[in-house]
């Protein structure tokens, strides 16, 4: 009894895991701290990791000052869940070290998303993919990687999955309006700097993007593949198929055009659906009103629909412009306009929700 009282209680990793954040100085890394705090994530400890350049800097969390440590292969001793958001090459280099130390890796990069056996998870859509892969902290479960999908995919699937589950989406045409944050904090700073420069009649500084971004827009900067699609667009196609569990001829037809617009941190998407079975506007409205993680702004009379500013710093994805598509038989076509915070639901929040699934 006495010894039990004097010994500190070992925190149970299944209820109060020790977390590591890899890439804590980035836009998503910083958002991790806010989201974990706001959601009162139960944790036994928190380790902040970044490149050697940031080691020794500090960050505030729940009233405590934490020192950022340099990421090395030895960083993960005692870590139960490692939230990675430092780019694909860092994930590829260090994920195995985290797993070897017994941690579950929740990875924001694209490094492992399409890898067989790696669950690609939007908690509102396919939480069961984690169970199927048996990755977790519990009895009999194993360490491994759970991948966080691309931001544009997550935001789209929050809105489209309820409709897909109800009546089946046969074909999907999406055009995106993507914010600077998707290219990181430096891109947001460049957009701001360029805007100041243009307003002052000066030549805009183009360090991150090769083209002027202020008061302009351009096709997404990810590499263009031989089929003419850029990688961002193909992520939306292939990740959706994986998340929806579609294979072979069973796959929903998807085409995407991804465009960067001079907006700071929330993406918008114009989505056109061809449906297997008919769905009325009212039914679509009800499905989306009831959908987890979705809020409606769909006020035709006042011409008030979702905007990136509505979605910024907010958990939910906003949906509006829900209307029957005039170009398709009544009930079989639907247009939607969706806005979601790229940094939050598109990245940090979704990853923390995955971590919450591991704790539950």
User: If binding is defined by CB under 8 A, does position 332 make contact with a second copy?
Assistant: no
Residue 315 touching a second copy (CB under 8 A): no
Among 173, 185, 208, 314, binds a second copy (CB under 8 A): 173
Q: Does 138 bind a second copy (CB under 8 A)?
A: no
Instruction: Say how many Å lie between the first and final Cα of the chain, rounded.
Output: 30
In 3D space, the residue among 186, 120, 180, 184 whose CA is nearest the CA of residue 150 turns out to be 120
Q: Where are the beta strands (DSSP E) in the chain?
A: 18-22, 45-50, 58-61, 64-67, 69-70, 81-84, 104-107, 145-147, 169-177, 218-219, 253-257, 259-260, 266-275, 294-296, 317-324, 333-341
**Closest residue by Cα to residue 348 from 307, 314, 308, 319:** 314
| Half-sphere exposure at residue 74, Cβ-oriented, CA atoms within 13 angstroms | 2
x/- mask, a second copy, residues 228-267, rule CB under 8 A, reads xxx------x---------------xxx-x-x-xxxx---
User: Beta partners for 25?
Assistant: none
Restricting to residues 198-227, name those near a second copy by CB under 8 A. 199, 210-212, 215-219, 221, 223-224, 227
Q: Which of 151, 164, 258, 324 is catalytic?
A: 151
> Whole-number minimum distance, CB 13 to a second copy, in Å?
42
Closer Cβ to a second copy, 57 or 196, answer by number:
196
> Quick check: is 339 catalytic?
no
Closest to 330 measured CA to CA, from 278, 285, 273, 284 = 278
Among 36, 46, 172, 291, binds a second copy (CB under 8 A): 172
Among 40, 53, 303, 360, which residue sits at the site for a second copy (rule: CB under 8 A)? 303
Residues that bind a second copy (CB under 8 A): 171-173, 175, 177, 192, 195-196, 199, 210-212, 215-219, 221, 223-224, 227-230, 237, 253-255, 257, 259, 261-264, 268, 270, 272, 281, 300-301, 303, 305, 307-309, 320-328, 333, 335, 337
Catalytic positions, written as ranges = 151, 267
């Amino acid at each position: 009894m006495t010894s039990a009282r004097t010994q500190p209680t070992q925190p149970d990793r299944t209820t109060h895991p020790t977390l590591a954040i890899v890439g804590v100085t980035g836009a998503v890394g910083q958002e991790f701290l806010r989201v974990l705090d706001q959601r009162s994530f139960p944790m036994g400890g928190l380790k902040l990791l970044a490149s050697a350049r940031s080691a020794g800097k500090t960050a505030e969390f729940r009233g405590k000052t934490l020192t950022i440590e340099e990421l090395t292969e030895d960083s993960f001793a005692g870590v139960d869940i490692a939230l990675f958001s430092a780019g694909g090459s860092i994930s590829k280099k260090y994920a195995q070290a985290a797993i070897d130390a017994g941690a579950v890796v929740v990875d924001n990069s694209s490094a492992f998303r399409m890898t067989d056996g790696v669950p690609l998870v939007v908690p509102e859509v396919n939480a069961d993919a984690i169970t199927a892969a048996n990755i977790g902290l519990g009895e009999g479960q194993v360490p491994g990687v759970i991948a966080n999908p691309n931001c544009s995919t997550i935001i789209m699937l929050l809105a489209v999955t309820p409709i897909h589950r109800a009546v089946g989406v046969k074909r999907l045409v999406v055009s995106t309006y993507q914010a600077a944050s998707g290219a990181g904090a430096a891109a947001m700073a460049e957009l701001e700097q360029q805007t100041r420069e243009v307003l002052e009649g000066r030549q805009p500084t183009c360090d991150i993007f090769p083209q002027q971004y202020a008061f302009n827009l351009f096709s997404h900067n990810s590499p263009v593949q031989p089929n003419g699609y850029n990688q961002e667009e193909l992520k939306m196609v292939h990740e959706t198929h994986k998340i929806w569990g579609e294979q072979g001829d069973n796959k929903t037809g998807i085409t995407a055009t991804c465009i960067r617009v001079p907006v700071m941190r929330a993406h918008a998407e114009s989505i056109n659906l061809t449906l297997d079975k008919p769905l009325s506007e009212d039914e679509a409205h009800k499905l989306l009103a009831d959908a987890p993680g979705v809020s409606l702004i769909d006020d035709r009379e006042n011409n008030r629909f979702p905007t990136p500013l509505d979605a910024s710093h907010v958990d939910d994805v906003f949906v509006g412009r829900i209307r029957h598509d005039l170009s398709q038989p009544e009930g079989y076509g639907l247009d939607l306009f969706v806005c979601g915070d790229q940094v939050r639901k598109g990245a940090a929040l979704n990853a923390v929700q995955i971590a919450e699934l591991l704790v539950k």
